């Protein structure tokens, strides 16, 4: 099996259950964490920009149980039982996009969103960002398509009802553009 087709996610993998203060309170399978209204668990979202300030976004694979074929941020997933959050984020960027880059923590927030009758996201999500200008080689089990997009274009598309974006991307992008834009720009030397 070539890397582009490697399965990197398992419904039985143990995710970290947390309280609203991010204290670990146990573990449960990925499938249980996303069933019905969901169990609050630790997660992360990553925003990768290139040196011209464009954001890498991905279209989630149709194989995904939740929000398949929706456009989303560069990468998102969960740390597994016993795994450090930052190390999990680096692992997942490599597994989904075949890249390595530095990631910087930005902020943390809690959200809950239901997706049809298939389940829900109920996450305490840490948001990271980074700079990357190299080649992208997507894992086809996770990502159907990808592209680089300007802030202006992303804002326009989020406002259109005919383009599907994940709810967490919309929440995170609004927070980034209103509260953290200068932090990112000053840290990695770009204009977004």
Catalytic residue list? 76, 123
CB proximity list for 39: less than 8 A, separation 6 or greater: 17, 28, 32, 33, 122
> CB of 18 within 8 A of CB of 40?
yes
Q: Rounded distance, CA 116 to CA 155, Å?
A: 25
Sign of CA dihedral 140, 136, 174, 9: positive
């Amino acid at each position: 099996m070539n890397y582009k087709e490697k399965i990197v996610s398992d419904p039985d993998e143990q995710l970290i259950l947390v309280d609203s203060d991010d204290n670990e309170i146990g573990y449960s399978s990925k499938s249980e964490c996303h069933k019905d209204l969901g169990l609050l668990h630790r997660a992360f979202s990553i925003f990768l920009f290139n040196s011209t300030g464009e954001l890498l976004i991905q279209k989630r694979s149709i194989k995904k149980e939740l929000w398949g074929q929706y456009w989303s941020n560069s990468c998102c997933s969960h740390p597994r039982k016993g795994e450090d959050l930052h190390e999990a984020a680096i692992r997942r960027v490599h597994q989904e996009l075949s890249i390595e880059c530095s990631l910087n923590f930005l902020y943390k927030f809690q959200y809950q969103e239901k997706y049809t009758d298939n389940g829900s996201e109920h996450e305490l999500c840490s948001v990271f960002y980074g700079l990357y200008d190299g080649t992208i080689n997507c894992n086809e089990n996770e990502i159907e398509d990808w592209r680089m997009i300007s802030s202006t274009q992303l804002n326009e598309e989020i406002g259109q009802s005919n383009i599907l974006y994940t709810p967490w991307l919309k929440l995170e992008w609004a927070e980034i553009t209103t509260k953290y834009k200068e932090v990112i720009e000053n840290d990695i030397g770009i204009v977004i």
